[in-house]
Structure formats: C-alpha cells, structure tokens
Chains A and B, each alone.
Chain A
Amino acid sequence: MIKILLRFAGLGMILIVALLVAVFVGDQGPWYFAWMVGTVMIVLISVAGAILFDTQSDPNDSKGEY
C-alpha cells in the first residue's frame, strides 16, 4: 500500500513539474500552436494507452479483472 502511495506521489510530482514547466513556457505562448501540438499529443497518448491495454490482456483468462 505504501509502495503504491509512493509511486502515486512520484507520478503526481512529475505531473506538477510538467504543469510548472507548461506555465513557464506558457508565458511566451503562441497558444494556437500549443493547441495543435497538445491535441495531437493527447490523442496519441490515449491511442498508445489503448494499444498497451491489448498487450496487457491475457486471452486465457476468461474472468480476467479490469
């Protein structure tokens, strides 16, 4: 449980750092460009997540948990 919490906190820290970097960069900001790049990135990450899901599936486990 502690391990999970620590991992979660670590991921949270990475997200916060990403947020701060984005805020800093944002001050310079051509935001239309950021939207295009960001939207493509959001779509690609969710696509990658779906493809990863298929690699995580065990076809022999008929009652597999999600």
Chain B
Amino acid sequence: MDIVSPWVVELSRFQFALTALYHFMFVPLTLGMVFILAAMETVYVVTGKQIYKDMTQFWGKLFGINFALGVATGLTMEFEFGTNWSMYSRFFGDMFGTPLAIEGLMAFFMESTFVGLMFFGWDRLSKGAHLAVTYLVALGSNLSALWILVANASMNMPHGGYFDPETMRMTFDSFVALIFNPDAQAKFVHTSVAGFVTASMFVMGISAFYLLRRQHRSFAAHSFRIAALFGIMSTIAVITLGDVLGRLDYMHQPTKVAAMEGLWHTSKPPSEPWLLFAIPDDKKQTNYFEIGVPYVLTPLLTHTFDKPIPGIYELQDQAGPRIENGIKAVSALRRYGEHRLQSDLEEFRHHEKDMGYGFLATRYAPDQDIDKITAEQLPQVVEKTKLDIFPDMFVTFWAFRIMVFLAMYFFIVFAMASYLSLKRQLEKYPFFLKIVMWSIPLPFVASEFGWITAEVGRQPWTVFEILPTFISSSTHSTGYMIFSLCGFLLLYSIFIAAELYLMFKFARLGPQTSHDDQSSRIIAAEQKS
C-alpha cells in the first residue's frame, strides 16, 4: 500500500499531462507567430508597402485568437501544483515558485500591456513605436516561456538549491545557477524555435490554401516567402538544440536516454545502430522487430566514436548500491528529525546524494517504513526498487521517434518551400502546396511528443533523483480526481473547439485588404467565365 493511493497519483499525472498537452496546443503558435509578425511589420516599416501592414494585421488577428485561449489554459496549470501536487510543492516550492512568480508577472504585465498596444495602437502610435511594441510582445511571450522552462529544468536537472534537513525541504540559494542551468538554456531555445517552426508551417499552410484557391495570391505568396525562410532557419535551430538536449540527457539523465534509444543493454561503440523501428516490451525488458542504422547512435549521442551509452540493465546494477545508501540516508534523516543528533546528521550527509533512491525504496518497505527493513529483507527491497528506476520505454522510445521523424520531415518541406518560393514556382506544384496545407497540424504534434519524451522520460521522479513521483501528489480521493479531470476535459475541449472554429472562420475569410491583387481578380474572372 503506497503513502498516497496509486490511483490518485496516476490520475494526478494524467490530469497534469492532459492540461499541459492542451495548453501546449496554443503555446508554440504564440511563441513563433509573434516573431513572424515582427518580421512582417519590419518589412512594412522599411519599405512602407501597405501589403506588409495588411499581412501583420491579418496574421495578428489569428495570433490574437490563439493568444487569448493560450493564456486561459495556462492559468489552471499553475494552480494544479498546489491542488494536486501539494507534497511536491511543499518539498520543492522554494525552487519552483520563484520562476513561476516571475512568469506570472511577465505574462500579465509585460505581455498583456503590449498585446493591447499592438492590437489597438495602429492609429495611435508611430510606425516605429508600433514596431517596437510588436518586438516587445515577441520578447515578452518568449520570456514567459523561459521562466516556465527554467522551472521545468530545475526538476530535470536540479540547480541553484540544496536539501535542508532542518526544514525537510529544498532551499533555493542561487538565482544565477537556477537561470543558467544548462538544461534550462537548451530547453528554452529548443522550445522557442519549435514554436517558430509551428508558426511558419501555420502561415505557410494557410498561404498555400489561398494559392491553391487562387485567392489573395500576392498576399499569400508574400506571406509564404517570409514563413518558408523563417521555417527553414528555425528547423535547423530546433534540430541543433534537440541534439544539445540529447547530449545533456546522456550526461545527466541516463535512464531517459536509454528509454529514448531503446537500450536495454549498454551500447557497443562505434557500431551500435540508431533504431528506426522497434517494439520495446517493458515487462520482458527486451525489444522486438528492431531495425536500425549502424554506426549512428554513438557519434549522434556522445559526439565520439568510443564512448558507450549505458543500457537499462547496467543502470539497474549501478542503482543497487545507491538504493542501499539512500535507505541509510532516509533512515538517518528520520532519526535526525526526531533526536537532532549530530551523528545522524553526519550519516545523512555521507549518503545525501542518494536520498531520492531511499525515498523510492519506501514503497517496498514494510508499512512504508524504511526503518522496518530487516537485513534479510534488504536485498529483496533493493531488487524491487531497481525495477522502478527507468521510465516507460515504449512510450518514451516512440514519442521521441515521432518527434525526430517529424523534424526531418519539416526540414525537407521548408527546404523545398524556400527553394520554390525563391524561384517563384510555388503555383507550378499544387501537390506540394497541398502537402504544406495538410502539414499545419504536424508541428503541434511534434511539440506534444517532445513534451511526452521529456516528461515520461523523467519518471519515476518529479525532481530527478531527489523526489519520486509516487510521494509527490496530494492526498485526494479518486472521486475528486475523476470529477476534476472530467471538468478539465470538458472545459479545455470547449477551448480547443472555440480555437478551431475561430481559426477556420477567419482563415477562410482571408485578409480584408484593398490589394486583392489584379492577377487574382483576372484569374477569378476567367474561372467564372
């Protein structure tokens, strides 16, 4: 029997995953679209051509719909930490609360103020001032994401704090270390440019729709050009940062990497294949139907040809002594909490780095009491705990692959789109335009699977190697969790339906511009006659 019902933990996880994934249907478009708007408006200010102002205003309208719904869906997540993850919030709140508070200020003060000016300031501000406002909205939106990602990185790779045995909580001690956490840096850039890719595909796809229907052709071709170039550069950046994140995980989260790469056994450099396809079986701890490309995995992940990548079996073996030390640490911590003896504190300090493994082992201790583990029971507890140290291999492996395959696809699509746009041959290839149009949802899918890789891959921890997930949630009843889950599901589905309805409506209406170019009118007239 767990401290908190496993059902409550799983429902809390599911609810957070659901709200986060819903929220992230809005976020990437906001992050990227606003910089595309800034690029369009820059051309307007530089050239003075009306078409670029119309572009900024039309795409800005779609950005506005997305922005409003994105903010609404993000709010609830911050409260979920308190309601559903109170154990985690108590333990890690000092570390996590600071970036979240700054994010709140960024979102509500900076973004909201400048978004208002961006939408309603066209006739009230000079061209230059309005452009500056648009860039500030772009910066504000991305800085909001930065603080969330700093908070997330502190869970994946804790920096800037330490565990205080006096308060039994993590204590925050370095703002600089928190912000400059290598995982935060790479994750922020990866997420931000993934948003750029999403927005580029969105603008390109809708522009392709107009080109296919021979409507707003000049407007669509101009928009397509900007989005295609924006997209190809962003895709290169997103792949580069994906590589950086993979390498950071290799160095700091080996269980996540082993799951991402389907490695049960430690790799054999340099010939170890990168698996294109496999069906990992978590229960039997093996893969079926493996198809891989030899000599790719080692240089891809380690940037060398001779370093092995530890597999799950080796990581489980390495975890054995850490679990034993962790049990000693948790036991010493408890004794110190009761008697405040210096000897207990010293013993705790000696094994402190393995404390999380001790917490992980409590699940298998008699009555969840680590002190009740006898010498005879210890090997059995360690063996059981070892099986808990790695995430769901099947989900992590495939979520990662879907994201990677889609990134490669985006690279090809944006490269071809840039080439055809620069050669002004887009309309000669309607099939390609159709592919672009139908590709609009794919960057959203890639972003979602990226988050699934990162978060499922972090399991069984909420704070990596410090706090296990199964002792992080609140002690709600399952009925409460199911009720609130249904509420969120209903509410967020309404948001998504509203978003899709408004997006389709305004995209179909198209830009209300004065320069629905002459060629479009001639072609439309020819088609009518």
Contact = CB atoms under 8 A, between A and B. Distances in A.
Tell whether A pairs with B. yes
Contacts of B425: 65
Contacts of B357: none
B55 to A, nearest CB: 9
B240 A47 contact: no
B43 A42 contact: no
Contacts of B227: 46
Contact of B188 (A29, A31, A65): A31
Nearest to B196: A42
B61 interface: no
B171 interface: no
A22 B236 CA distance: 9
Would you call the interface of chain B mostly helix, strand, loop, or mixed?
A: helix
Contact of B226 (A11, A23, A46, A63): A46
A56 B244 CA distance: 38
B247 A66 contact: no
A19 B428 CA distance: 30
A29 B244 contact: yes
Interface residues of B toward A: which range? 35 or more
B42 A47 contact: yes
B35 A43 contact: yes
Given A12-B415, A38-B193, A65-B424, A19 B42 contact: no
B56 to A, nearest CB: 12
A59 B40 CA distance: 21
Interface residues of A toward B: which range? 35 or more
A11 B419 contact: yes
A22 B233 CA distance: 12
Interface in B69-100: none
Contact of B47 (A12, A51, A66): A51
B114 interface: no
A53 to B, nearest CB: 5
A26 B240 contact: yes
Given A35-B188, A45-B233, A65 B428 contact: yes
A23 B415 contact: no
A47 B46 contact: yes
A50 B43 contact: yes
Contacts of A52: 225, 422
B225 A42 contact: no
Interface string A4-47: 00001001100100110011001101111011001101110111
A46 B39 CA distance: 7
Contacts of B211: 66
A50 B519 contact: no
B329 interface: no
B229 A45 contact: yes
Interface of B: 35-36, 38-40, 42-43, 46-47, 49, 52, 180, 182, 185-186, 188-189, 192-193, 196, 211, 217-218, 220-222, 224-230, 232-234, 236-237, 239-241, 243-244, 247, 303, 411, 415-416, 418-419, 421-422, 424-428, 518-519, 522-523
8 contacts: A8-B415, A29-B244, A30-B185, A35-B189, A53-B221, A63-B523, A65-B427, A66-B217
Interface of A: 8, 11-12, 15, 18-19, 22-23, 26-27, 29-32, 34-35, 38-39, 41-43, 45-54, 56, 61-66
